[in-house]
């Protein structure tokens, strides 16, 4: 299916909002939406058109127990963390991932001549938890003349929607906010040069994430779009 056909996009959005888009088609549409802000706004337009229909239904008061359960959860649950804060839970898990990452590195890390060996890797999972991309880099000491990251796609990329960009973020240690590493392309194998100030910090990073941002990258310097891939950094 060609998801860039405006009529098809409109039809799918309408049926998504109506509720007749089901099963796999619904799941696929939801993952397209994550990448595609323009598609989200087509959906929003359909929500504005159709959702007022809900007013025609009669109100039905829920039983008291629903509110009781809710208010218990409100007082019990901690403040919601931003995604990069909640990812901090990984920090304890990285050791168990090391073996897996090592195997992957053997598969993906066929080193090129004159390229220093990779020292760290982040195996990034998509939102369904499937490995989708790796980001690896050599020891910054060894690559100090030309610090770089290597980005490899290990699962078919979704299409980059028009007007959007994919931005990579390094999750530094401590409570610091994500730091932009820059925009990547859809190439399956690409090298991204690192500014020296980033090279100095990346060895302390504990994770890498990717978000979908407006064309040209996040306007605020912090992630603004949905996070679509993430993974902890592991020593090789």
Partner 1 sequence: MSESARDAQAARLAELLSQSALRNQRAFSELYAVTAPKLFGVALRILRRQDWAEEVLQECYMSIWNHAGDYAITKSAPLTWMTSIVRNRCLDWLRRPQQEATGDEYEIAIDAWRDESPGPIEQLAAAGDAAALARCLEMLDGRQRQSIMLAFFHGMSHSEVANHMKEPLGTVKTWVRRGLERLKGCLQQAESP
CA distances from residue 98 to 38, 46, 92, 93, 222 in whole angstroms, order as listed: 38, 46, 12, 9, 29
Give the nearest distance from C-beta 131 to partner 1 in angstroms. Answer: 24
Take residue 26 and report the two structure tokens written for it: 């619904």
| Contact residues: partner 1, CB under 8 A | 10-11, 14-15, 17-20, 22-23, 26-27, 44, 47-63, 65-67, 69-71, 73-75, 77, 79-80
CB of 32 to partner 1, least distance (A): 15
Q: Which residue has the tokens 């020593």?
A: 235
Phi and psi of 192, rounded to 5°?
A: -120, 125
Sheet containing strand 179-184, strands side by side:
179-184, 164-171, 207-214, 227-235, 118-126, 131-138, 148-153, 189-193
Closest to partner 1 by CB, 51 vs 111, is 51
Residue 216: partners with Cβ closer than 8 Å, 6 or more residues away: 165
Write down the least CB distance from residue 47 to partner 1, Å: 5
Q: Name the residue nearer to partner 1 (CB basis): 68 or 141.
A: 68
Quote the least distance from Cβ 40 to partner 1, whole Å. Answer: 10
80 versus 112: smaller Cβ distance to partner 1: 80
Tokens of 104: 């992957």
The structure tokens 């056909």 sit at 5
Min dist. Cβ of residue 76 to partner 1 (A): 11
**Closer residue to partner 1 (CB): 71 or 141:** 71
CB of 89 to partner 1, least distance (A): 17
Separation CA 19–CA 16 (nearest Å): 5
Rounded to 5 degrees, φ, ψ at 183 are: -95, 145
């Amino acid at each position: 299916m060609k998801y860039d056909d405006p009529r098809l996009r409109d039809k799918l959005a309408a049926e998504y909002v109506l509720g007749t888009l089901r099963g796999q088609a619904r799941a696929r549409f939801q993952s397209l939406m994550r990448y595609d802000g323009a598609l989200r706004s087509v959906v929003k337009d359909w929500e504005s058109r159709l959702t007022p229909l809900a007013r025609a239904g009669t109100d039905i008061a829920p039983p008291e127990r629903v509110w009781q359960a809710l208010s218990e959860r409100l007082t019990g649950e901690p403040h919601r963390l931003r995604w990069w804060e909640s990812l901090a839970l990984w920090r304890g898990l990285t050791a168990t991932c090391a073996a897996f990452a090592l195997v992957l590195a053997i598969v993906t890390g066929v080193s090129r001549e004159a390229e220093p060996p990779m020292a760290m890797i982040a195996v990034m999972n998509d939102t369904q938890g499937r490995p989708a991309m790796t980001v690896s880099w050599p020891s910054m000491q060894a690559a100090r003349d030309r610090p770089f990251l290597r980005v490899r796609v290990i699962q078919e990329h979704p299409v980059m929607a028009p007007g959007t960009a994919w931005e990579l973020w390094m999750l530094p240690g401590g409570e610091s906010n994500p730091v932009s590493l820059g925009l990547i392309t859809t190439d399956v194998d690409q090298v991204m040069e690192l500014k020296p100030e980033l090279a100095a910090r990346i060895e302390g990073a504990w994770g890498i994430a990717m978000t979908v941002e407006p064309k040209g990258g996040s306007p605020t310097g912090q992630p603004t779009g949905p996070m679509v891939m993430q993974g902890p950094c592991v020593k090789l």
